[in-house]
Structure 1
Amino acid sequence: MTTRAGQPAQETDLINVEELVAAYYEKVPDVTNPDQKVVFGTSGHRGSSFDSAFNETHIAAITQAIVDYRTEQGITGPLFIGKDTHGLSRPAETTALEVLAANNVRALVDEFDDYVPTPALSLAIIVYNATGHDDQADGIVITPSHNPPRDGGFKYNPPHGGPADSDATSWIADRANELIANELRDVKRAEPTAVETYDYRGAYVADLANIIDFDAIRAAGLHIGADPLGGASVNYWKLIAEQYDLDLTVVNPRVDPQWGFMTLDWDEKIRMDPSSPSVMASVLAYQHDYDIVTGNDADADRHGIVTPDGGLMNPNHYLAVAVQYLYTHRPEWREDAAIGKTLVSSTMIDRVAESLGRRLWEVPVGFKWFVPGLIDGSVAFGGEESAGASFLRKDGTSWTTDKDGILLALLASEIRAVTGKSPSALYAELVEQFGDPVYQRVDAVATKAQKAALGKLNGSAISAETLAGDPIIARLSEAPGNGAAVGGVKVVTEKAWFAARPSGTEDVYKIYAESFVGEEHLKQVQAEAKEIVDAALGG
């Protein structure tokens, strides 16, 4: 069967933006329907107005719930609010500002009515709270990240600047659903009379000098391409080029809520995931025109790195290179600062950490787990396999506590400038030193009951003694770094590992697996992983 993955989108793939926005205002959700209630995942509430899953009712209720949460927590400072380029983001911002105004919350929107990347908003919160104010700021990012154009997203970042933890999101979601069930009687709304502004772009770009070595990039004369993929970083890249006098071209400055210029993802959907070869097909066309070409998703919290000698880098490969480089080129970082990774990221990072003599801090899936370490400097880098990461400033203080795709894209140019080698070439050197791991994620069908059981599965329920012919040395249901539940299991041998977690959106569970032996060994690991998990789930 032929696939259109990696092919340009056609007219039939595009949404009708007018109908999408009309549905936002016209459709009213039924919160007794699980598909229409407010649910916060790892990155906020997401859904489509077409499905009655992201509508004016939801946003009014969620914003009022955030106001109530702020009151409960004693948060009295400004609330930074920004939106990405999705069609539902501006209507959601309008609704949110009405609720914030009626509740006398001081909301700060972008000074130029520009789009606001997630890292720029995270940075604004952190800088405000670190500069001696008597109150604390927090924020709202209106984005479904890399999701298709039909979706909207709404995310709360508390005073630490990163994604809210499950205690906060559960409280907000429960309160929002209660407000909707009560027909929004306790939701206050008013037309904002005067909304304060903040220069997110100017503040973020100026501050980049404290974390990236632009002198080295400029001195090396690198020819750089950046593709915002129609997302919020579009004007940021233009200002970065101007402010730091770089030979940097925004290869695609278009913004279109239909994303009609995109190439289709693996499932033939329009999706802005810069780690996907199918999505990045149009960016790969520039592979040999630049020393480094990068991509970002719609809110710029993810990165994709393209090199002339390696093409699009696997996110795990780039994370390993970034760790190797940063921990040998940031002399002011604490000597005991750990390397943070999610437990489904590559073991190559473990081997790099061991060679550097650095502690590895392995946490469950979700960037929120890195927040405490990135704030106090005990973790200098936090990264996850889905192409999201952030790290500390040169002086070892906090940068962002949310993922920063712009930063990781710029780091690729710094690495190329300082080492004289592309990140792809540096990964090849790591392979020579540590071996060549093969990594893949696949899905396995599961009922809702099986998914619930997997989410609570204890490692001790795994009875298997071997995996793909090797003794099992660990059965984890808690992350080694912080002891938090992983919401699934990870099984480890000396040569391979797999992790199984239930999907939050589909009736499947995800099997992440890696082998340092090769492709055939990986297939064996994946096959046995399914047998081991199914046996533990009683079927």
Structure 2
Amino acid sequence: MTPEEWIDHDPDPGTAEELSACAPDELAARFARPLTFGTAGLRGPVRGGPDAMNVAVVARATWAVARVLADRGAAGSTVIVGRDARHGSAIFATVAAEVLAAQGFSVILLPGAVPTPVVAFAVRHTEAAAGIQITASHNPPADNGYKVYFDGGIQIVSPTDRQIETAMAAAPFADRIERTPVEPADAGLIERYITRAAGVRRGAGSVRVALTPLHGVGGAVAVETLHRAGFDQVHTVGAQFAPDPDFPTVAFPNPEEPGATDGLLALAADVHADVAIALDPDADRCAVGIPTASGWRMLSGDETGWLLGDYLLSRTPDPAAAVVASSVVSSRMLAAIAARYGAVHVETLTGFKWLARADAELPSGTLVYAYEEAIGHCVDPAAVRDKDGISAAVLVCDLVAACKDQGLDVPDKLDELARRYGVHEVAAVSRRVADPGEAAALMARLRAEPPTALAGFAATVTDITDALIFTGGDDDTSIRVVVRPSGTEPKLKCYLEIRCAASDDLTSSRTYAAALREQLVASLAHW
């Protein structure tokens, strides 16, 4: 399709006018590479053209999803549509719902802005054929996205994504795609989600909670869910509570970014909280802060993963039938925890589209927990087969309450795990790249000329689908570095883990592991 044809058939006069005003070079750039499916969907800036998020792209993508569903014999089935509060989300969700309705599907358009886990839950709860959530998660304010669920509320994988892209390429002009008005549904599915998420508690007692949704859509749902779970003392960061697509108080709306949780930790200290919770803007991820002897700090995603994995398995009636999963870029401690309880551990490729399928080939086991180091946790796979920051927050608070009941705190629990399974020092280092081509070139160079040593230990390399895994060590020390391109950002990411043998001398083990980490981080600059 030529730029002129696209502009002539753009159903949004605003983006049509914007494209018409572009200089020739800019226009050529916007039509050079259309959006493609990455992490279960599309993600890009809100603006005109096929390389961005706009009404035309959403209409064509939804027409393609409808075509793929129909080809699979699901014509006329139910599809859930939801959205966050980003720029463009309301109109994009409306367009998606209307295109599906015109194609004969029974559409449930969730009312207002909702957390992404609500959509994943709704697909599974209603046995819908698919779900679409308009969201760009923790991307910058200028972005939006289009996330697709099939298969019982699980993010799509290949070949489904490629089939949708193929159908998009054959879609009619956007202004010729039929649309039928859809009235938003009531809040019944949101209510059922809250009830289910509140029910993930295993224990009793209460804790004082500090919480921020980082200007996203999780605030009200999270507070109500925590209240129903028995956590009445929830204090929120007022300046960050209401959804705001400009994310004015943070440089980058991601709890993992430096400075993003400063307001949360200040509130936690002020109210003498027992735990601090930061949700990302679409509330599918959960970062945890804890008080320590030297002040408040945020846990890594791996530390939270160890704690929740151990907590869930310790309260699972039949651990031998349980499956837990972590991604290849996450810590290996969960595997050791699973072995102690007699549970099955599965390591998957990166992303919840794989983690949610970890028990697919294990007929005698059922997934009870999955996590990845990027603060994503799936704590109730029977209801939500995706990462879910709100139900994870409930379980974190439950764990902290259980620790209090035993006269312990979270650092005590982490020490207990370190003594049992060894100190695991984790870190992540990112290198920004201009585009996917630069990331691919760097990966190709590492494949051709892999490093021969890791912090003084001889290194071996394993090449898997989307990553390189470098390992080294001896009987007492294990070093692992995983390198892969980011699926959502222009970055090459390196994930480090140093494991020391189990010992009661945690101070010495941690000092040694931290020194090895610093050596590794310094050497990565030359890779």
- With normalisation by structure 2, the TM-score equals 0.81
Q: Distance in 1 between matches of 2:162 and 2:254?
A: 27
Rounded Cα–Cα distance in structure 2 between residues aligned with 1:248 and 1:374:
37
Matched, 1:390 2:374: no
- Asked whether the equivalents of residues 392 and 399 of structure 1 are also in contact (C-alpha less than 8 Å), the reply is yes
Corresponding residue of 1:71: 70
* Equivalent residue, structure 2, for 1:353: 338
Q: Which amino acid aligns with 1:386?
A: A
Provide the rounded CA distance (Å) in 2 between the counterparts of 1:24 and 1:281.
37
Partner Cα separation in structure 2 for residue 171 and residue 456 of structure 1: 28
Query: Aligned in 2, Cα 1:457/1:389: closer, same or farther, shift over 3 Å?
Result: farther
Please give the secondary structure, in 2, of the residue aligned with 1:149: coil
Q: Distance in 2 between matches of 1:337 and 1:245?
A: 27
Unaligned 5+ runs, structure 1: 1-20, 130-135, 265-270, 479-484, 535-539
Change in Cα spacing, 1:250 to 1:58, as seen in structure 2 (3 Å) is farther
1:430 pairs, out of 417, 423, 428, with 417
Deviation per CA, 1:177-221, whole angstroms, max 9, x where unpaired?
A: 443xx6337x522341655545232010112354223xx34xx23
> Deviations along 1:362-394, whole A, 9 cap, x unmatched?
11111111222367753321111110010346x
Question: Is structure 2 residue 191 aligned with structure 1 residue 202?
Answer: yes
Of 281, 305, 319, the residue aligned with 2:288 is: 305
For residue 102 of structure 1, what is the aligned residue in structure 2?
A: 102
> In the TM superposition, what is the alpha-carbon distance from 1:155 to its structure 2 partner?
0.7
Residue of structure 1 aligned with 2:468, choices 473, 489, 504: 489
Contact 2:430–2:491 (8 Å) recurs in 1 = no
Q: Relative to structure 2, which stretch is displaced further, 445-454 or 323-332?
A: 445-454
Q: Distance in 1 between matches of 2:434 and 2:145?
A: 26
Q: What is the correspondence of 1:219-368 to structure 2 with a 5 Å cutoff? A: 220-249=205-234, 251=236, 252=238, 253-260=241-248, 262-264=249-251, 271-288=252-269, 289=271, 290-309=273-292, 310-332=296-318, 334-368=319-353
Indicate conservation of the 8 Å contact 2:348/2:358, yes or no: no
Change in Cα spacing, 1:358 to 1:118, as seen in structure 2 (3 Å) is: same
- State the alpha-carbon separation in 2 of the partners of residues 23 and 321 from structure 1: 49
Would the alpha carbon gap of residues 509 and 256 (structure 1) be closer, same or farther in structure 2, given more than 3 Å must change?
closer
CA shift for structure 1 position 469: 1.9
- Structure-2 separation of matches of 1:172 and 1:245: 43
1:453-464 to 2 correspondence within 5 Å?
A: none
Distance 1:108 1:513 in 2: 43
Partner Cα distance (1:508, 1:378) in 2: 34
Q: Once the 2 structures are TM-superposed, how far is the Cα of residue 96 of structure 1 from its aligned partner?
A: 1.3
2:497 pairs with 1:500:
no
Distance in 1, matches of 2:85 and 2:201, equals 26
The CA distance in 1 between the partners of 2:488 and 2:231, in whole Å, is 42
Deviation at 1:525, TM superposition (A): 2.7
For the structure 1 residues 528 and 403, does the alpha-carbon distance in structure 2 shift closer, same or farther, using more than 3 Å as the test? same
Cα deviation 1:11-53 (Å, max 9, x = unaligned): xxxxxxxxxx985575459798466512111141111124741
Contact 2:328 2:350 in 1 (8 A): yes
Measure the CA separation in 2 of the matches of 1:505 and 1:193: 31
Aligned sequence identity (%): 24
- Counterpart for residue 173 of structure 1: 165
| Structure 2 CA distance for aligned equivalents of residues 89 and 22 of structure 1 | 17
| Shift in alpha-carbon separation, 1:233–1:449, aligned structure 2, 3 A | closer
Q: Which deviates the most, 40-49 or 349-358?
A: 349-358
Partner Cα separation in structure 1 for residue 182 and residue 425 of structure 2:
58
Matched residues in 2 for 1:392 and 1:374: separation?
Answer: 14
**Match for residue 475 of structure 1?**
461
Q: Would the aligned equivalents of 2:380 and 2:391 in 1 still touch at CA under 8 Å?
A: no
**SS of match in other structure, 1:401:** coil
Alignment-mate amino acid for residue 224 of structure 2: L
Structure-1 separation of matches of 2:134 and 2:309? 30
Q: How far does residue 159 in structure 1 lie from its aligned partner after superposition?
A: 2.9
Give the Å deviation of 1:526: 4.0
Q: Does 1:184 align with 2:180?
A: no
Q: Aligned runs of 1:431-450 on 2, under 5 Å?
A: 431-433=418-420, 434-443=422-431
One-letter code aligned to 1:326: L
Work out which of the residue numbers 371, 380, 383 in structure 2 matches 1:399: 383
Match of 1:47 among 39, 44, 49: 44
| Alignment counterpart, residue 160 of structure 1, candidates 152, 174, 186 | 152
Point out the more displaced range, 496-505 or 61-70: 496-505
1:88-99 → structure 2 map (5 Å cutoff): 88-99=88-99
Shift of 1:128: 2.1
How far the C-alpha of 1:258 sits from its partner, in A, is 2.0
Distance in 1, matches of 2:63 and 2:186, equals 21
Retained in 2: the 8 A contact 1:241–1:247? Answer: yes
C-alpha separation between the residues in 2 aligned to 1:301 and 1:120? 9
Query: How many Å separate the matches in 2 of 1:274 and 1:73?
Result: 39
Q: Does 1:419 align with 2:403?
A: yes
* More divergent stretch after superposition (278-287 vs 420-429): 420-429
Q: How far apart are residue 340 of structure 1 and its match?
A: 0.7
**Compared with structure 1, are the counterparts of its residues 43 and 159 closer, same or farther at alpha carbon in structure 2 (3 Å cutoff)?**
closer
Match among 125, 128, 144 for residue 127 of structure 1? 125
1:256 shift after superposition:
2.0
Gaps of 5+ in 2: 1-11, 21-26, 500-511
1:91-146 alpha-carbon deviations (Å, 9 max, x no partner): 21122122122212111022xx23221111111111222xxxxxx43110110001
- Paired residues of 1:230 and 1:256 also in contact (CA < 8 A): yes
Contact in 2 for aligned 1:115/1:232 (Cα 8 Å): yes
8 Å contact from structure 1 (residues 263, 281) kept in 2 = no
What TM-score does the superposition give when structure 1 sets the normalisation length?
0.80
Amino acid at match of 1:142: I
Q: Structure 1 pair 167/424, CA: closer, same or farther in 2 (3 Å)?
A: farther
SS at match of 1:285: helix
**What is aligned with 1:37?**
34
- Matched residue SS, 2:125: helix
- Quote the Cα distance in structure 2 between the aligned partners of 1:125 and 1:381: 19
CA shift for structure 1 position 491: 1.0
The question of whether the paired residues in 1 share the 8 Å contact of 2:97 and 2:109 is answered with no
Question: Helix, strand or coil: the match of 1:126?
Answer: helix
Match of 2:508 in 1: none
Q: Give the 3 Å change call, closer, same or farther, for CA 191–358 of structure 1 in structure 2.
A: closer
Q: What CA distance in whole angstroms lies between the structure 1 residues aligned with 2:187 and 2:16?
A: 28
Q: Deviations over 1:296-337 (max 9, x none)?
A: 1121110011222242111111111111111111224x5142
RMSD between aligned residues: 3.0
Aligned residues: 476
- Please tell me the residue identity of whatever aligns with 1:200: L
* One-letter identity of the residue aligned with 1:115: A
Amino acid at match of 1:204: Y
Alpha-carbon distance in structure 2 between the residues aligned to 1:499 and 1:337: 27
Native 8 Å contact 2:38 2:488 kept in 1: no
Distance 1:51 1:36, change over 3 A: farther
Which string of whole-angstrom CA distances, capped at 9 and with x for unpartnered residues, describes residues 417-449 of structure 1? 123234343223323441251422231758855
